[in-house]
Chain A
Amino acid sequence: MWAVIRNRLLMLIVVIFGVSCITFLMSNVIPGDPARMIVGVKATEETYQRVREQMGLNDPLYEQYLNYMQGLLTGDLGTSLRTQQPVIEDLITYFPATLELVLYAFLIAIILGVFIGVLTAVKNNSMWDHIGRIFSISGVSLPVFWSGLMAIILFYGVLGWLPASERLDLFIDAPPTITGLYTIDSLLAGDMEAFSNSVLHLIMPVSILAFVHLSAITRQIRASMLDVLQQDYIKTARANGISSSFLIIRYALRNALMPAVTVVGLSIGSLLGGAVVTETIFNWPGMGKYVVDSIGSLDFPAIMGFTILIAIGYVLINLLVDLLYMVLDPQIRE
Chain B
Amino acid sequence: MLLEITDLSLSFHTLYGTMPVLDRVSLSIEPGEIVGIVGESGSGKSVTAQSVLRLLDRNATYTGGSIRFKGQDVLGMKEKEIQGLRGKKIGMVFQEPMTALNPTMRIGKQLANVIRKHQGVTQAEADRLAVEALAAVQMKDPQKVFRQYPHELSGGMRQRVVVALAMSSPPELLIADEPTTALDVTVQAEVLKLMKELSTQTGTSVMLITHDIGVVANMCDRVYVMYGGTVVESGKTEEVLFHSNHPYTRALIEALPEGKPKSQPLKVIEGESFNARKRPVGCVFWDRCPKRTARCQEKPPVVEGLNGHRIACWEGKR
Of A232, A246, A250, chain B has the most CB atoms within 10 Å of the CB of: A232
The answer to whether B102 touches A255 (Cβ under 8 A) is yes
Shortest C-beta distance, A177 to chain B (Å), equals 42
Distance, CA A235 to CA B149, complexed state (A): 18
A236 touches which one: B88, B101, B117, B118 (CB < 8 A)?
B101
Distance, CA A78 to CA B103, complexed state (A): 51
Q: Which residue of B lies closest to A254 (CB)?
A: B104
Residues in B with CB closer than 8 Å to A250 are 105, 113
The answer to whether B94 touches A232 (Cβ under 8 A) is yes
A233 touches which one: B83, B92, B103 (CB < 8 A)?
B103
The answer to whether A241 touches B165 (Cβ under 8 A) is no
Residues in B with CB closer than 8 Å to A240 are 86-87, 91-92, 114, 117, 165-166
The answer to whether B117 touches A231 (Cβ under 8 A) is no
Distance, CA A79 to CA B113, complexed state (A): 61
Give chain A's interface residue range (CB within 8 Å of chain B).
20 to 34
Question: Is the CB of B85 closer than 8 A to any CB of chain A?
Answer: yes
Question: Is the CB of B200 closer than 8 A to any CB of chain A?
Answer: no
Q: Which residue of B lies closest to A232 (CB)?
A: B99
Contacting B at CB under 8 A, from A313-334, are: 328-331
Question: Is the CB of A251 closer than 8 A to any CB of chain B?
Answer: yes
Shortest C-beta distance, B33 to chain A (Å), equals 21
Shortest C-beta distance, A117 to chain B (Å), equals 18
Question: Chain A 250-281, CB within 8 Å of chain B: the 1/0 string?
Answer: 11001100000000000000000000000000
Question: Is the CB of B189 closer than 8 A to any CB of chain A?
Answer: no
Shortest C-beta distance, B32 to chain A (Å), equals 22
Shortest C-beta distance, B240 to chain A (Å), equals 28
Query: With contacts defined as CB atoms under 8 Å apart, how many contacts are there between chain A and chain B in the complex?
Result: 78
The answer to whether B162 touches A236 (Cβ under 8 A) is yes
The answer to whether A239 touches B102 (Cβ under 8 A) is no
Question: Is the CB of A242 closer than 8 A to any CB of chain B?
Answer: yes
What DSSP secondary structure best describes chain A's contact surface?
A: helix
Question: Is the CB of A84 closer than 8 A to any CB of chain B?
Answer: no
Question: Is the CB of B84 closer than 8 A to any CB of chain A?
Answer: yes
Question: Chain B 63-93, CB within 8 Å of chain A: the 1/0 string?
Answer: 0000000000000000100011111100110
The answer to whether A255 touches B103 (Cβ under 8 A) is yes
Residues in B with CB closer than 8 Å to A329 are 103-104
Q: Which residue of B lies closest to A258 (CB)?
A: B104
Residues in B with CB closer than 8 Å to A137 are none
The answer to whether B118 touches A241 (Cβ under 8 A) is yes
The answer to whether B85 touches A235 (Cβ under 8 A) is no
Shortest C-beta distance, B160 to chain A (Å), equals 13
Residues in A with CB closer than 8 Å to B94 are 232, 235-236, 239
Question: Is the CB of A74 closer than 8 A to any CB of chain B?
Answer: no
B55 touches which one: A231, A239, A243, A254 (CB < 8 A)?
A239
Q: A232-B96, A236-B100 are in contact. Are A251 and B105 (CB under 8 A)?
A: yes
Contacting A at CB under 8 A, from B246-262, are: none
Shortest C-beta distance, A244 to chain B (Å), equals 8
Residues in B with CB closer than 8 Å to A331 are 103, 149, 151
Give residues in B with beta carbon < 8 Å to A.
53, 55, 79, 83-88, 91-92, 94, 96, 99-105, 110, 113-114, 117-118, 149, 151, 162, 165-166
5 further A-B contacts with Cβ under 8 Å, apart from A242-B114, A244-B79, are A232-B94, A233-B99, A242-B113, A255-B104, A330-B103
- Give 12 A-B contacts (CB < 8 Å), ordered by A residue: A233-B100, A236-B100, A237-B110, A239-B55, A239-B94, A241-B88, A241-B118, A242-B114, A243-B117, A251-B105, A254-B105, A255-B104
Give residues in A with beta carbon < 8 Å to B.
231-233, 235-244, 246, 250-251, 254-255, 328-331
A-B residue pairs, 10 tightest by C-beta: A240-B87, A241-B87, A241-B86, A232-B99, A239-B92, A330-B149, A240-B114, A233-B102, A236-B100, A241-B83
